[in-house]
Structure 1
Amino acid sequence: MTRRPASSLPPPKLRRRLREAAALTQTQLASRVGVTPGTVRAWESGRTTPRGRKREAYAKLLKTLAEEDAARQAARAPEGGRDTGPASASQPKARPVPVVVAVGVRDGAGHETPEAADSLVLPAKPLTEFAAEPDTATEQGPGPAPGRETEPEQGPGPGPAALTPAQAFDVLYEFSAPALVRQTYLLTGRREQARESVERAFQTAWEHWPEVARDRDPVGWVRATAYEYALSPWQRFRPRHRHPEPPPADPGDRTLLNTLLRLPPRHRRTLVLYDGVGLDLPETAAETEASTPTTANRLLHAREAVAGRLPALADPEVLHQRLAELASNERLRAGLPTTVRRGSERRARFWTRAAIAFTVALIGTTALTVHTAPTHYEPPVSPGVAVRGVPPRVAPGALSDEELELRQKLRDQVQDGPERLSPKTE
């Protein structure tokens, strides 16, 4: 009996585009598939993948939406005088990412030394060369027929050597940590908090490394975690938050940073992702877990607020370049990858031991309670009653003559009384 191959699904980004092209909300699509809107949101962001009957229903619905979108594109082709056939549905036109020039770090003399690692934009770099390949039957459609062996493809040369999980983590950290620290600095305006947020995000990624290594965009996974930690409302209760850090030395950078910090956290995050990092609008919406119209409104309001205070930054290209310069002018450095990995392992050991200690304490408390608990009913003790007529107790001392005489008299008499009592007549 052969196993039925799983239905193929388009990439998560294309799933969201097909739904929006059909003017369907996540709630409407969830009702047609038979799941919750949160499940659809997770499917479109790539965090989870449907399985079983839900996968087949979802794939069938997406195929229908793709055919409808291709038909609409074909109907509009004669009107516009150009061919926008089905290829436009599979390869939607993305927002052109602005080119980032090599922005250097200013030294003490005021000169600039270009550094490639100080760029604000990170290209998408999957970990396919040092992570396990995803399930081809799940992501790439049906595989070879049962009972047929496939021979490995012979490349032009020897393939790259497989890296260990620790080496793969170090490669990802060295590649993305410097730029992520600078991006987080634009969100918080605090150097130490930005560095700590990125290191904490990488520690969380090391704890969930199999999931991160298989992710299509591991940098985006870490970036979302770092942003969530940096913008957490609990940060304001930390003692470090009460002491402000020195602002940037350049007056223009200081004004731009203050303008960013005055924006609401969600608008600030959307502006940094779209105009700073260079993500597309659906990708920004997926990372911020919001709809595309909501993300567009947040971006427009953030741009309007920045342009209201700095009119020179009304152009998105100029704003992107200024954000890159602001992030690169600060000397922000991340820790070593080995230190981050050891910190993650140390924290995992601490919480594991704390959980074990709590469990042992709970078991001991329960056993002590069971051992000392009464096994039968004990009536309550009645309240005491005051006794009257009892002479007060006196302190012991020497006996008086009368007491000595009485004691001698009692000793001389027979203690048991007369031997026999006999009645007498009067």
Structure 2
Amino acid sequence: MTQSPATPLPPPGERRRLRESRSLTQAQLARRVGVSRETVRAWESGRTAPRGRKGEAYAKLLITATTAPAKPGPTGPLTPTETTRSADSADSAESPEISRRSAESPTRSAAGRAGRGQPSWSVLEEVADPAALTPAQAFDALYAFCAPALVRQTYLLSGRRDLARESVERAFQLAWERWPEVARDRDPAGWVRAASYEWALAPWHRFRPRYRHPEPPPSQPFDRALLDVLLHLPPPHRRALVLYDGVGLDLPETAAETEASTPATANRLLHAHATLAARLPELSDPLVLHRRLAELAATEHLRSAKPPEVRDGSERRARFRTRAAVAFTVALIGATALTLCTAPTRYDPPVPPGETVRGVPPRVAPGPLSGKERELRTKLREELLHGPERLAPQSR
């Protein structure tokens, strides 16, 4: 049974202010405590109460925030590079603990994995107020923040540069069509990431003419070997590996995004790690594997389209589908009207089949004559020719 932390906790309304006074984001605080960002958000909103050793660590961080001088925060919006740099600095302070947990179990905690080199949408939420942005501005901010990383991740999944860019564009086009739903989602970046992964791993791409032939492999031999091993993994194993070792999600979040149970996801990761270790033994270390995946995705210099182009493409597709639906409806109405105009207005009963009358021989259809019939016809013709002369009446 867990107990509440001995250090007194401030009220929920004060917890976020104390965190912001230390210039910490929810993701950074979650890494230090060893929980997920959703857990920190629930603690700050008061939906759940911190308990156990993690709750004690969370309380100590908040209490020290009241005594320690506040660090100067950024003067402007954080770029993905600055976010990555701050995340790497936080991870470097905890690297011994991360290495120990990685060696003990494949299900490492989010403290050593979440947000490593991956832009977080929570940073954008804290820098800019989403309520003050128009839908187009919020969409453009989400696209600029997440699209470059998503293109590299989908390249690891598909091994094709064009398909990676197409998957990200289709995912964001779908997000723009359902923008009210995506904007209210707790994790818009995760929503778009799941959509792009589904498009990249769709099995029907193999029937497209442009994707029947393989693309040129990476120039470096080790990158070619790593990409070859990734593409030979089953798609569910490959997706779990990219989310867990590439993106940096913990095991429950990886299982939730892949719509699988936690034991099934852990089994997929174990098989994927075993395959990688058998082909490339130097990738047995999770930190080395994460670094090599990032380097493989970064060497291709993949670029994504501009946000206005994606929004315009989404609107064009929506207009095309609307016009197609209207045209189909008009054609259906026209066909129904034509059927009503040409259909008969009365009922004509069908003609019953004929009945056989007894005593009357059936009619014989014309056909070839038999031998006797031919002899009879010849005889009749001869008699007509050599019969008596025709009598003519004479007048008196």
| TM-score (ref. length: structure 1) | 0.57
Correspondence for 2:227 among 254, 257, 261: 257
Q: How much has 1:243 moved relative to structure 2?
A: 1.7
Aligned residue in 1 for 2:267:
297
* Cα distance in 1, alignment partners of residues 348 and 195 from structure 2: 59
Q: How much has 1:267 moved relative to structure 2?
A: 0.4
Aligned residue in 1 for 2:194:
224
Aligned residue in 1 for 2:295:
325
Aligned residue in 1 for 2:31:
none
> Within 5 A, what are the aligned runs for 1:13-412?
94-97=110-113, 121-125=118-122, 128=125, 129-132=128-131, 162-380=132-350
Q: How much has 1:97 moved relative to structure 2?
A: 1.9
Q: How much has 1:269 moved relative to structure 2?
A: 0.3
Whichever residue aligns with residue 94 of structure 1, its letter is: A
Q: Quick check: 2:157–2:231 contact (8 Å CA) kept in 1?
A: yes
Q: How much has 1:122 moved relative to structure 2?
A: 2.7
1:371-404 CA-to-partner distances (Å, cap 9, x unmatched) read: 21111112457999x9x9xxxxxxxxxxxxxxxx
Q: How much has 1:323 moved relative to structure 2?
A: 0.1
* Cα distance in 1, alignment partners of residues 213 and 110 from structure 2: 43
* Cα distance in 2, alignment partners of residues 170 and 288 from structure 1: 26
Distance 1:210 1:130, change over 3 A: farther
Structure 1 SS opposite 2:175: helix
Structure 1 SS opposite 2:290: helix
Q: How much has 1:284 moved relative to structure 2?
A: 0.6
Q: Quick check: 1:247–1:254 contact (8 Å CA) kept in 2?
A: yes
1:244-280 CA-to-partner distances (Å, cap 9, x unmatched) read: 1111111110000000001000000000001000011
Gapped regions of structure 1 (runs ≥ 5): 1-45, 47-62, 74-82, 101-118, 133-161, 389-426
Q: Quick check: 1:126–1:218 contact (8 Å CA) kept in 2?
A: no
* Cα distance in 2, alignment partners of residues 342 and 176 from structure 1: 19
Percent same amino acid among aligned pairs? 68
Whichever residue aligns with residue 142 of structure 2, its letter is: L
Whichever residue aligns with residue 219 of structure 1, its letter is: A
Whichever residue aligns with residue 293 of structure 1, its letter is: P
Distance 1:130 1:366, change over 3 A: farther
Distance 1:292 1:383, change over 3 A: closer
Q: Quick check: 1:127–1:214 contact (8 Å CA) kept in 2?
A: no
- Count of equivalent residues: 264
Distance 1:331 1:292, change over 3 A: same
* Cα distance in 1, alignment partners of residues 218 and 54 from structure 2: 49
Structure with greater proportional helix content = 2
Q: Quick check: 2:121–2:142 contact (8 Å CA) kept in 1?
A: no
Distance 1:84 1:225, change over 3 A: closer
Q: Quick check: 2:151–2:165 contact (8 Å CA) kept in 1?
A: yes
Q: Quick check: 1:94–1:280 contact (8 Å CA) kept in 2?
A: yes
Q: How much has 1:367 moved relative to structure 2?
A: 1.3
Aligned residue in 1 for 2:370:
none
Distance 1:209 1:300, change over 3 A: same
Distance 1:84 1:196, change over 3 A: closer
Distance 1:356 1:279, change over 3 A: same
Structure 2 SS opposite 1:252: helix
Whichever residue aligns with residue 321 of structure 1, its letter is: R
Q: Quick check: 2:114–2:249 contact (8 Å CA) kept in 1?
A: no
Whichever residue aligns with residue 275 of structure 2, its letter is: A
